Amino acid sequence: MRIIALALLLSACSSDDNAKPDAAVLPDARVVDVAVPDVSVPDVSLPDVAVPDAVMPDAMPLPTLVLHVEVAAVPGGDGSENKPFASPVDAVAAARVAAADDPSRSIVIFLGAGTYTLDETLVLDVPGLGVFGVNEQVLDGQRLPTAALAGDETRLVAAATWDKTLPRYDLTTVAAFLNPSLVTIAAPRVTVEAITFDTASVAGGGVEAIRSDSFAIRRSSFAGTGTAVDTVASTGVIVSNYFDAVTVGAIIAGGNDAEPSGVNFTSNRVVDPMMGGVLLNATGSGLVGVYDSLTAYVTLNDLEGAIGSPNSFGIRMMMTRRDAPDTQASSKLIANIDDNTIAGNTINIIIDAGFPFRVANMTCDDRVFTGTFALEFHGNLVSGATGRPALISTTRGAAALAPATQLASWQYLHGAVFDILDPDDALAGASIEHPATDRYTGTCANDATAEDLGNRITIDGTDVTNQVVVALP
């Protein structure tokens, strides 16, 4: 099986400019996007949402160095096919040395079948590195991945001794951002493909991409609690992955002009997550500096069965998560949500403020939060919510649903714009929290009066009237 998988890898990396990697042809004849075009976040004043098209790239150049890893290898190998490394860590270390010696090298690490136990995060910080396992997905009639594999499996798990109190790679963090992932992508043009990630074995999750341009996470599986994929200040693609009973399938967070964030989340299946399928966060949570913009394209996915809490979702778009003492208070999110199945979640679609703190660590937060959503929904199949079909809220969603207990913690946005195109009524029946004035007064200076909020929500060009969420019967 290893020989066959390696042959397929090298075939996909053919030097023939006209060659194409194997692709799943979608029902409408579109092809899964595994390319990462340059993404620049449009100015929020532009009326159109600029999202890269999904097109198949030309093949990668033939790798000039292939490093082999086998579970049963004898320690002290050199990464050759006859003397493979016994650990992915050794292979990445060898890749760093080889890249430093000749930066023009195209390097691939091939992980043979079996389970690899990691003592710490595997940091992929070699530009252009590819890490491939042997997993071969079984696709269903929609050309989406299933839980089944057609043969052997490459699996990554965390050791029992894994230190779950460490901060994530290259982040200045608060407690919410502790717990590293199994793999961190921290260089441009890194590909991770055909691997199973045991996210239950590590508190952080499966794969995170931090300040990485043109990453690709493809044809892999994620199982168990934790955030399966987490990206921030990065551009790339998350394509044809299977997520089984994770906490959140993917959290895609914002960047800025210097380190843009633009991600295609395409042809993935997220089944029975505890909290949600995919979350788009306009801000770059955890990074020092201003990270205030995200462009995302979420298309042809199956996002079903998130019912673990009253706020669980199929897809959620939120304005902010910048914890005190950070001073950032504005952001923008531009997204196309097209041709997805979003069904059987507590709330199928949430559009909300995110984390607009009134109080943090027992201290009043004096920021006034604002921002812009420019969102388009086309061709989605939305059905079967167990709670509400959709929620649109100018405060945190949980506060809109439980104002008596939550509004004391979360502000409303001020002067925010929600510009939504929804010609196919994906948001039909949405509960809307959009009051004209603040519904909470308290002891913090910002809460002394029920001030005017000045937010604006338009759907298909029509202003939404001021209203508040009505409790379910």
Instruction: List, for residues 342-354, the tens digit of each pLDDT value.
Output: 999 999 999 999 9
- Cα separation, 471 vs 473, whole angstroms: 6
- Cα separation, 430 vs 188, whole angstroms: 40
Q: pLDDT for 402-456, tens place per residue? A: 999 999 999 999 999 999 999 999 999 999 999 999 999 999 999 999 999 999 9
Report pLDDT for 60. 52
Q: Report the pLDDT averaged over residues 312-327.
A: 94
- Cα separation, 466 vs 463, whole angstroms: 9
Comparing 161-170, 176-185, 241-250, the range with the smallest average pLDDT is: 161-170
Q: Report the pLDDT averaged over residues 326-332.
A: 94
- Cα separation, 100 vs 96, whole angstroms: 6
Examine the pLDDT at 197 and tell me if it is beyond 70. Answer: yes
Report pLDDT for 33. 32
Report pLDDT for 199. 87
- Cα separation, 290 vs 295, whole angstroms: 16
Q: Report the pLDDT averaged over residues 270-278.
A: 97
Report pLDDT for 200. 82
Report pLDDT for 6. 46
Report pLDDT for 54. 44
Question: pTM here?
Answer: 0.88
Report pLDDT for 17. 35
Examine the pLDDT at 323 and tell me if it is beyond 70. Answer: yes
Rg (CA), the chain: 22
Q: Report the pLDDT averaged over residues 209-215.
A: 93
Task: For 405, list phi and psi in degrees, rounded to 5.
Answer: -105, -15
Examine the pLDDT at 1 and tell me if it is beyond 90. Answer: no
Instruction: Measure CA 386 to chain center.
Output: 24
Amino acid at 162: W
If you average pLDDT over every residue of the chain, what do you get? 86
Report pLDDT for 286. 79
Report pLDDT for 29. 27
Amino acid at 345: N
If pLDDT is split at 50, 70 and 90, which confidence band does 471 have?
confident
Examine the pLDDT at 109 and tell me if it is beyond 80. Answer: yes
Among residues 298, 309, 375, 372, the alpha carbon closest in space to that of 342 is found at: 298
If pLDDT is split at 50, 70 and 90, which confidence band does 61 have?
low
DSSP assignments along 4-32, one per residue: HHHHHHHHHT-S-TT-----PBPTTS-B-
Examine the pLDDT at 333 and tell me if it is beyond 50. Answer: yes
E strands, 300-369, are 302-304, 313-320, 330-338, 341-343, 347-354, 359-360, 363-364
- Assess contact for 286 and 232: CB atoms under 8 A: yes
Domain locations in the chain as residue ranges = 247-473
Residues whose CB is less than 8 angstroms from the CB of residue 412 and which lie 6 or more positions away in sequence, other chains included: 353, 356, 394, 395, 435, 438, 439, 453, 455
Examine the pLDDT at 34 and tell me if it is beyond 60. Answer: no
Examine the pLDDT at 12 and tell me if it is beyond 70. Answer: no
If pLDDT is split at 50, 70 and 90, which confidence band does 120 have?
confident
Examine the pLDDT at 88 and tell me if it is beyond 90. Answer: yes
